[in-house]
């Protein structure tokens, strides 16, 4: 094989490996923890699969609404600007200003927590972490399962505990929503929320995969003329 073909093959392989590694990382490793059931037996909690689909703008828009109304009071998302939400999620800026800007009046601002995290640390015993990159830290499925795994526990200060994160300091903030909806409807709302959080963590995730596909396709197609040229160049050399 000529050096050109070798380096092209190397490039293709490298790109393919990078893409695979990227998705493996995004998928997040590990299960969703262990818990002790009513009989005192330790059980493993399987992660539920988060419905991630960046092409579903309705889902992302609903997720943004839930995030701003239920989460931004305590959690910041310091790498995300409101104006970017308007642009990428195709929401008219006036509507973002009216309904989604709960902690600022400047559309260019990042999402800050309404209440100072330091103050919250003294209330909850732990400061709520910034959520911009949360799904990349924990994985989409972990976050999705965590949000679906709150249960009543009178021994905890806020009356709720979590199967994924034992003794979580966070109250069950979606409690009222869960009460009002059927299990399927609740899962779908939380799915939209996690879809939005995955978008916050990597807005180009969908495009990256589409571009990656065409890059590999391009390299494969390029291989044909390069291979023929190579044969042509070397045919008289014995």
Give just the sign of the alpha carbon dihedral 119, 123, 124, 126. positive
Comparison of 22 and 171: residue with beta carbon closer to ligand HEC: 171
146: which 2 tokens?
């965590």
From CA 115, how far away is CA 111, in angstroms rounded? 12
From CA 73, how far away is CA 192, in angstroms rounded? 19
Q: Applying CB under 6 A, which part among 98-106, 124-132, 149-157, 198-206 lies near ligand HEC?
A: 124-132
The reply to whether 164 sits near ligand HEC by the rule CB under 6 A is: no
The reply to whether 73 sits near ligand HEC by the rule CB under 6 A is: yes
Phi, psi (rounded to 5 degrees) for 120: -65, -35
The reply to whether 74 sits near ligand HEC by the rule CB under 6 A is: yes
CA 136 to chain centre: 6
Q: What is the nearest approach in angstroms of ligand HEC to the Cβ of residue 94?
A: 25
The reply to whether 174 sits near ligand HEC by the rule CB under 6 A is: yes
Write b or e for each residue in 114-123: b if 16 or more Cβ atoms lie within 10 A of its Cβ, otherwise e.
Answer: eeebeebeee
Q: Which residue in the block uniquely carries the two structure tokens 């589409």?
A: 210
16: which 2 tokens?
């393919």
Q: How many residues bind ligand HEC (CB under 6 A)?
A: 24
The reply to whether 172 sits near ligand HEC by the rule CB under 6 A is: no
Comparison of 146 and 199: residue with beta carbon closer to ligand HEC: 146
Residue 198 to residues 27, 33, 37, Cα–Cα distance (Å): 11, 21, 31
Comparison of 93 and 129: residue with beta carbon closer to ligand HEC: 129
Q: What is the nearest approach in angstroms of ligand HEC to the Cβ of residue 49?
A: 17
The reply to whether 134 sits near ligand HEC by the rule CB under 6 A is: yes
The reply to whether 169 sits near ligand HEC by the rule CB under 6 A is: yes
End-to-end CA distance of the chain: 15
Q: Spell out, one character per residue from 79 to 118, where the chain touches ligand HEC: x when CB under 6 A holds, - when not.
A: ----------------------------------------
Which residues of the shown chain bind ligand HEC in the complex (CB under 6 A)? 70-71, 73-75, 120, 124, 126, 128-129, 131, 134, 138, 143, 146-147, 165, 168-171, 173-174, 193
């Amino acid at each position: 094989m000529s050096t050109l073909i070798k380096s092209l093959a190397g490039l293709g392989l490298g790109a393919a490996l990078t893409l695979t590694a990227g998705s493996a990382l995004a998928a997040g490793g590990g299960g969703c923890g262990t818990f002790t059931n009513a009989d005192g037996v330790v059980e493993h909690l399987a992660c539920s699969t988060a419905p991630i689909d960046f092409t579903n703008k309705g889902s992302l828009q609903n997720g943004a609404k839930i995030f701003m109304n239920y989460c931004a009071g305590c959690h910041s998302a310091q790498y995300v600007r409101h104006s970017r939400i308007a642009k990428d999620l195709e929401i008219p800026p006036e509507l973002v200003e009216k309904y989604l800007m709960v902690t600022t009046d400047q559309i260019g601002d990042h999402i800050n927590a309404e209440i100072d995290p330091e103050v919250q640390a003294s209330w909850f015993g732990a400061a709520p972490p910034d959520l911009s990159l949360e799904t990349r830290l924990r994985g989409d499925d972990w976050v999705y399962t965590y949000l679906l795994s709150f249960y009543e526990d009178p021994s905890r200060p806020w009356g709720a505990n979590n199967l994924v994160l034992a003794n979580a300091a966070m109250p069950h903030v979606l409690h009222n929503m869960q009460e009002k909806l059927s299990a399927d409807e609740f899962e779908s709302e939380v799915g939209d929320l996690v879809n939005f959080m995955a978008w916050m963590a990597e807005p180009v995730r969908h495009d990256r995969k589409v571009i990656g596909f065409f890059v590999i396709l391009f390299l494969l197609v390029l291989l044909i003329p390069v291979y023929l040229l190579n044969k042509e160049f070397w045919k008289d050399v014995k």
